[in-house]
Chain A
């Protein structure tokens, strides 16, 4: 049993629903000895009291300390994140009418906001003047009614947006993530990093 090596791979951000946080919630373990592995996975790492903050940052060194206390003589290798952000969430956070209301709000803001933005952009560049000018240049007469240039511009705009966002009507063109999905992941990562370093500065990290 002595001198078994345990590999510890922590996640950066974990959400738990219960009051107690176990090691298996926040990290993946790898150990040749299945007894040690089972024992460590059931290790209680943190307890959220009713009055406590719903969020805490736990250093992986703290985990190593607890693991060594539980199974003396093991050697722990950390291969994942050095700090783990643990958040306690309510069970019903991901459903319910509030979720739908928020979703509807963001949809409305995105829809009207971008409609307004593109109209303001067209207004800024004076698109109708530009189109009239180009039409006169090419066709040598005043534009009347719906003209080719405007229709092809709108089709080009639609094609550009669909190419850029990589999907239309819920169907993807290629398997790559869309730009907003990429930006979403980057944003989440930045928030996690900021929370972890704030906790480190304020000395609230569990070490």
Chain B
């Protein structure tokens, strides 16, 4: 009983602090306000916040309780005849998840780079005035190449 109480204390406080840490970074980078500003939908900011909350909770459940979230195996046990349908749905889900998660991470990466003022400082040092758009396109191209290369050569296995 005492031991369980101790576990609850550890887990609860770690959860509180992890949430504070992760969201302080998100709020400091200011991604969601920028999305809302770009799309001129500032009045829906509350909905976006709700989405951030539920997204994080979903991600938390999926990664902490991953052994209980094996939907494919569960479905295969229940109704083996519809497995093809499930494969299609799985691929579609991967496409949706990958696309939107990629957009978010891309924005996050550049937003963090921008928060450190690396682009303004660089442009001031080498004093270039034109071609900022070109530089940004090159950055995006570099990110695509790097990401594809990473998955293609399975760099993550070398660590």
**A interface, CB within 8 angstroms of B:** 93-94, 99, 102-103, 105-119, 121-123, 127-128, 131, 134-135, 138-139, 146-165, 167-170, 178-181, 183-184, 186-188, 191
Contact = CB atoms under 8 A, between A and B. Distances in A.
B13 interface: yes
B45 to A, nearest CB: 6
A157 B19 contact: yes
* Chain A to chain B: the 4 pairs with minimum beta-carbon distance, closest first: A156-B15, A113-B104, A160-B19, A152-B11
A50 B110 CA distance: 37
17 contacts: A103-B41, A107-B47, A109-B100, A110-B52, A112-B97, A114-B59, A116-B104, A128-B64, A150-B11, A152-B11, A154-B57, A154-B65, A155-B12, A159-B12, A162-B53, A179-B23, A180-B48
Contacts of B100: 108-109, 111-113
Contacts of A187: 30, 33-34, 37
Given A93-B40, A110-B48, A116-B59, A149 B104 contact: no
Interface string B107-141: 11000000000000000000000000000000000
Given A138-B7, A152-B7, A162-B53, A102 B104 contact: no
Contacts of B108: 113, 117
A158 B107 CA distance: 25
A110 B7 contact: no
Contacts, number: 232
Interface of B: 3-4, 6-20, 22-24, 26-27, 30, 32-37, 39-66, 68, 96-97, 100-101, 103-105, 107-108
Interface of chain A, main secondary structure: helix
A146 B59 CA distance: 17
